[in-house]
Amino acid sequence: MKRMIIAIVLAACGLMLPSLAGTQKKSDEGSTKEIYTGTIVSMSGGLLSTGFTLTLEGRTSDEEAGTYRSILANEGQGDLFKAIRKNCLGFIAATGQTRRDLLVVREGELNGQRRIIAAFERWQRMFEVRGGYRSTDYPYSIIEIVFDQKGKGTGTFIGLAQVQMKMDKKTEQWRLEIENFGSFPSKIMGVMRRN
pLDDT, tens digit, 9 for 90 and up, residues 145-154:
999 999 999 9
* Residue at 26 is within a domain: no
pTM: 0.78
**Domain span including residue 105:** 4-18+33-193
Question: Is 28 among the domain residues?
Answer: no
How far apart, in whole angstroms, are the C-alpha atoms of residue 38 and residue 120? 17
Nearest Cα residue to 92 out of 79, 109, 105, 106: 105
Residue 27 inside a domain? The answer is: no
In-domain check, residue 51? yes
Give the whole-angstrom CA distance, residue 120 versus residue 71: 17
Predicted confidence (pLDDT) per residue in 80-113, tens digit: 999 999 999 999 999 988 899 999 999 999 899 9
Q: What is the number of domains present in the chain?
A: 1
